[in-house]
């Protein structure tokens, strides 16, 4: 049986996976050229009486060129800021302000990808790729936060919000890699979490003592009405037994108490 049949996918899906893997293994210039082959260009043209209207297309080109010229001119004059690419190496930044800016940019990208991975229309392969990208960005986040500390800035590893980290869960036996959103429901991953949930959790003495309070030692028994009613009934029963007990048994109990 073919590999793609055994995996339960169609041949087109198998071919797309192979092509994407080969493209990702190429160098930067070759990968860019390969990705351009997948681009689809669509051209609209208005026709009247069997004659194409090229004038509208030329006007669109002129407007597009004029817009790009004005945008470049505004950027040159400092009136508009062009989109900068986030540095791949955090050590190349020597300013706390700039490092915090790139950290915020990275957190925004992580948040978008975490929201995207919840999409039910994504295939399992897309979910896996997206989860890998999120984990890669989380590693970059650590390096940016470490760089901020090295430059004398605040330590976001301790004081920063951890909501993004809490979105992901580590599978048992796999440390440092988190599963986000639908990635936890992937075949093979779901079984790991179910197995971990069924196994008993070994708690340390510190964790056990953390849940112990004064009520555990009985200091709040006077506030428990049910327990007080039970004690009153039991006390009344013992008093009745003592009143109706024979004198000989009382004398024997007193002698035993004195001994």
Q: Please report which helix (H) or strand (E) contains residue 253, including its range.
A: helix 247-258
pTM exceeds cut of 0.95:
no
Q: Which ranges of 84-201 would DSSP assign to H, the alpha helix?
A: 96-116, 124-150, 156-159, 163-167, 189-198
Identify the segments of the chain with pLDDT beneath 50.
55-56
pLDDT tens figures, 192-225 = 777 765 556 677 777 777 767 666 677 666 666 7
Q: What is the pLDDT of residue 44?
A: 59
The number of beta carbons lying within 10 Å of the beta carbon of residue 242 is 10
Q: What is the pLDDT of residue 22?
A: 84
Q: What is the pLDDT of residue 9?
A: 79
């Amino acid at each position: 049986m073919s590999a793609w049949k055994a995996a339960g996918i169609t041949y087109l899906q198998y071919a797309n996976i192979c092509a994407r893997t080969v493209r990702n293994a190429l160098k930067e210039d070759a990968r860019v050229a390969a990705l351009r082959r997948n681009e689809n260009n669509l051209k609209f043209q208005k026709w009247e009486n069997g004659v194409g209207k090229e004038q509208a297309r030329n006007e669109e080109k002129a407007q597009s060129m004029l817009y790009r010229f004005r945008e470049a001119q505004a950027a040159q004059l400092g009136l508009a800021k062009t989109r900068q690419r986030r540095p791949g190496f955090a050590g190349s930044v020597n300013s706390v302000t700039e490092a915090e800016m790139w950290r915020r940019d990275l957190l925004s990208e992580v948040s978008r990808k975490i929201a995207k991975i919840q999409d039910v229309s994504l295939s399992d392969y897309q979910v896996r790729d997206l989860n890998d990208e999120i984990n890669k960005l989380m590693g970059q986040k650590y390096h940016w936060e470490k760089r901020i500390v090295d430059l004398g800035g605040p330590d976001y590893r301790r004081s920063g919000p951890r909501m993004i980290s809490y979105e992901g869960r580590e599978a048992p036996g796999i440390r440092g890699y988190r599963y986000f959103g639908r990635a936890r429901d992937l075949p093979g991953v779901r079984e790991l979490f179910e197995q971990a949930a069924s196994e008993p959790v070994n708690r340390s003495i510190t964790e056990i003592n953390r849940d112990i309070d004064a009520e555990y030692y009985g200091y709040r028994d006077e506030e428990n009405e049910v327990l007080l009613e039970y004690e009153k009934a039991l006390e009344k029963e013992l008093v009745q037994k003592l009143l109706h007990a024979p004198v000989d048994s009382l004398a024997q109990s007193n002698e035993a108490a004195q001994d």
